[in-house]
Structure 1
């Protein structure tokens, strides 16, 4: 399995996020946009493994949900429903991980599966 290094800018979004979101209810949206602003479709597609890697490390339901929505946004920029090979290779592990988080496994993950046309 390939080792993916999570983008430092992405990791920093999660540092002291509680304080940041208390001051800006749109914190995650704005922070994610700072990464995707000006990103090409190819760059977005190539960024998918970094987001998947982070999702596998997160252990907070709220943060996982926000990150799934970020991944959906990355797929929108990539303008594809093709399942990235890194996502395909880690699908089982990701699904098992998300089974532990009721909120993230509900709406956000279902929306991702719908977008990628993945059947349960």
Structure 2
């Protein structure tokens, strides 16, 4: 997992209890510091983080911010890593306990015009 993502997720419950906008503020810093090309290049790190988490809430947050990276990249071009790991990602999300990540993934697919 990319260090910047790992740092955000480290002790996240305590941090979110202190600041309800912790995830938004933290991921916004990562996204805002990137140009469109760098945002596109960071997408595989989000995919890897999603695949490494067993927490439905965290997966949903990571999917949301991955979608934000696509927005920053200003493209609907599918990242080759997403294409190669899409089935694995979908299988992983379906194995998580909860519905948040699946719901967020459906929004992500809608935004990218995927079936």
> What range is the shorter-chain TM-score in?
over 0.9
User: Are 1:10 and 2:13 matched, yes or no?
Assistant: no
* 1:36 positional shift: 1.5
Report the equivalent of 1:67: 62
CA–CA distance in structure 1, aligned partners of residues 92 and 33 of structure 2: 31
TM-score by length of 1: 0.91
User: Which secondary structure state, in structure 2, belongs to the residue aligned with residue 118 of structure 1?
Assistant: coil
Q: State the secondary structure of the residue aligned to 2:86.
A: helix
Q: 1:15 & 1:38 partners in 2: Cα distance? A: 21
Query: Structure 1: which 4+ aligned runs deviate by more than 3 Å?
Result: none
Aligned-pair CA distance for 1:7: 1.9
CA distance in 2, matches of 1:40, 1:27: 22
CA distance in 1, matches of 2:100, 2:42: 24
2: distance between equivalents of 1:74 and 1:37? 9
TM-score, normalization: structure 2? 0.94
Taking only aligned residues, the RMSD between alpha carbons, in angstroms, comes to 0.9
Matching residue within 30, 37, 41 for 1:42? 37
